[in-house]
A and B are shown apart, each in its own frame.
Chain A
């Protein structure tokens, strides 16, 4: 429910600057900017302590040496040369990117049509809210529980296999349903679609309905309205949803481990394996590379759609 507001706020720092009312206020009680600092301090301290410093620590440790027992302060680059020089890493990255592209495409298509239905086809605001909450509720349950819940469906003797056999469609259970890449993608779509629905729904709700009417009056077909009016105006929401889904899939390791049954790899899983083997510097080097890749993708998305300008 609260996620609805996520994107219309990401520009607030910008709009505050643009808003003459706020600007006037700054001048009027300019002396009280001291209280602003005081009020912002807890957030800055927490993010500094638990986000900034830990990431700097990762950067530092990625140059450290290690053996099977502990890690040593040092300056070595082999954590990087080893990571980047191994074809396993490259294969894992390609696999992770493959998951990302597939899940991104699926969540975008599903998310767009669900949001479109809620925003344009449900006419009463109460009904809209109720249906939106219906979509939201499962997302507030534990990810792992939601993964487990696929087992009775997809398992060897699961619902799908037993019905297919009973109907005589397949002679023996399909093996690819569970513990496969198919299962990973399915579970990720199940887990992450809401992150696409919410921001798209939010931008669709703010499209001026008279624009659509004007397009219709000018003789546009339903398809033309969609491609020339709605989709261009929905771009910021799609971009924000994409950023969420891409970063979630890129860093995912639980879904990959659980749903693939160890048959598939991802960067996150590779890191978590290195962590469990106490190879922290190697994991840190991996983390730095992952962070760079994720930030590059996010930057690329923001290049295509300037969220701040479009909202």
Chain B
């Protein structure tokens, strides 16, 4: 396909890129392999037989703490975060299409939400609840902490989307007599749907894996990352790797589903024209 000869620089950089990818995936694939250790296997190579012993061990409650409960909480929290992130980012994106008083301040507030270190947010929300005399819980203070991390990303994505969005479509809809709700529902929304799925996917994965912002805001019950963190300090069997494998596979599954949804939405839109 390419007629131009590849330069030497290309091969050097391709080699560098390959090393980088190996660096990214090497460790992850190691724990994936080691999670299939035999029942007497340890935390390092060599493999002591192969089994799914550590996966079944994972689901025995007494062995590794409340894995099921923390997983469920992380799921629910992730879904709540996703829903709120999508709706609020979309609304904010629409709001910022027009200039309004305080928009610059709100914009910088959203940016600073990304820049302020996570542990500061965690401490701040924890103290804020303490001062108010409200007990922190994963579904209240935890949810708020996660939103300070997911919303800025969502808002920035919506900015990018609406910056590239031509108002001509809306003008055409209006000229045809559509009300502003109809214009939004039948013109704008279908066009930005894939980006909204992207925002949701981003929100979910960020929330599902969030540790630092959950630390002081989760209250009595652990989320999954907190549970994993607790395990790293007192579990010295490959069950840790099994948990790593399960959560990683789950993350990939979510990404895969979201990407499929984006492609399906895109295809359907292409078919309708």
Seen from chain A, the residues whose Cβ lies within 8 Å of a Cβ on chain B are 1-3, 5-6, 8-10, 12-13, 15-17, 21-23, 25-26, 29, 32-33, 35-40, 42-44, 46-55, 57-58, 60-61, 110, 113-114, 116-118, 121, 123, 131, 134-135, 137-138, 140-146, 148-153, 155, 157-159, 162, 190, 193, 222, 243-244, 247-248, 250-254, 258, 268, 271-272, 275, 280, 283-284, 287, 290-291, 294-295, 298
| Chain B proximity of A76: nearest CB distance (Å) | 16
**Of all chain A residues, which has the CB nearest B240?**
A148
Number of A-B contacts (CB under 8 A): 298
- Chain A residues near B118 (CB, 8 Å)? 251
- Chain A residues near B232 (CB, 8 Å)? 144, 148, 258
Known: A57-B127, A155-B43. A46 touches B147 (CB 8 A): yes
A-B contact pairs, 10 of them (CB 8 A): A2-B157, A5-B160, A10-B111, A25-B98, A39-B91, A149-B27, A243-B115, A251-B119, A291-B116, A291-B117
B221 CB-CB contact with A under 8 Å: no
Q: Is the CB of A153 within 8 A of B26?
A: yes
Known: A13-B96, A37-B100. A152 touches B31 (CB 8 A): yes
A156 to B255, CA, bound (A): 35
- Chain B residues near A17 (CB, 8 Å)? 99
- Chain B residues near A52 (CB, 8 Å)? 109
B218 CB-CB contact with A under 8 Å: no
Q: Which of A155, A251, A283 contacts B117 (CB 8 A)?
A: A251
Chain A proximity mask over B107-146: 1 for CB below 8 Å, otherwise 0 = 1011111111111110111111011000000000000110
Q: Is the CB of A253 within 8 A of B27?
A: no
- Chain A residues near B160 (CB, 8 Å)? 5, 8-9, 12
**Of all chain B residues, which has the CB nearest A110?**
B20
A137 to B251, CA, bound (A): 9
Q: Is the CB of A22 within 8 A of B97?
A: yes
B28 CB-CB contact with A under 8 Å: yes
- Chain A residues near B131 (CB, 8 Å)? 57, 60-61
Q: Is the CB of B205 within 8 A of A5?
A: no
Instruction: Name the segment of B52-60, B64-72, B148-156 touching the other chain.
Output: B148-156
B167 CB-CB contact with A under 8 Å: yes
Q: Is the CB of B28 within 8 A of A149?
A: yes
Looking at chain A's contact residues, the main secondary structure is helix
Known: A145-B228, A155-B44. A47 touches B99 (CB 8 A): no
- Chain B residues near A116 (CB, 8 Å)? 13
- Chain B residues near A25 (CB, 8 Å)? 97-98, 167
- Chain A residues near B14 (CB, 8 Å)? 117, 121
| Chain B proximity of A69: nearest CB distance (Å) | 13
Instruction: Name the segment of B185-193, B196-204, B265-273 touching the other chain.
Output: B196-204
Chain A proximity mask over B36-79: 1 for CB below 8 Å, otherwise 0 = 00000001110000000000000000000000000000000000
| Chain A proximity of B168: nearest CB distance (Å) | 10
| Chain A proximity of B252: nearest CB distance (Å) | 7
- Chain A residues near B125 (CB, 8 Å)? 50, 54
Q: Which of A55, A135, A251 contacts B20 (CB 8 A)?
A: A135
- Chain B residues near A23 (CB, 8 Å)? 99
| Chain B proximity of A57: nearest CB distance (Å) | 4
| 8 Å CB interface, B239-256 against A | 240-241, 243-244, 247-248, 251-252, 255
Q: Is the CB of A40 within 8 A of B30?
A: no
B106 CB-CB contact with A under 8 Å: yes
Query: Which of B95, B198, B251 has the most CB atoms of chain A within a 10 A radius of its CB?
Result: B95
Q: Is the CB of B119 within 8 A of A150?
A: no
Q: Is the CB of A250 within 8 A of B148?
A: no
A167 to B191, CA, bound (A): 59
A119 to B234, CA, bound (A): 45
- Chain A residues near B28 (CB, 8 Å)? 138, 141, 145-146, 149
Q: Is the CB of A137 within 8 A of B31?
A: no
- Chain A residues near B92 (CB, 8 Å)? 39-40, 42-43
A113 to B17, CA, bound (A): 8
- Chain A residues near B100 (CB, 8 Å)? 33, 36-37, 40
| Chain A proximity of B131: nearest CB distance (Å) | 6
Known: A10-B156, A54-B121, A159-B45. A142 touches B21 (CB 8 A): no
Q: Which of A12, A142, A250 contacts B211 (CB 8 A)?
A: A142
**Of all chain B residues, which has the CB nearest A7?**
B156
Q: Is the CB of A113 within 8 A of B16?
A: yes
- Chain B residues near A151 (CB, 8 Å)? 43-44
| Chain B proximity of A56: nearest CB distance (Å) | 8
Q: Is the CB of B96 within 8 A of A190?
A: no
| 8 Å CB interface, B214-262 against A | 215-216, 224-225, 228-229, 232, 240-241, 243-244, 247-248, 251-252, 255, 259
A144 to B28, CA, bound (A): 11
A155 to B107, CA, bound (A): 45
- Chain B residues near A10 (CB, 8 Å)? 111, 156
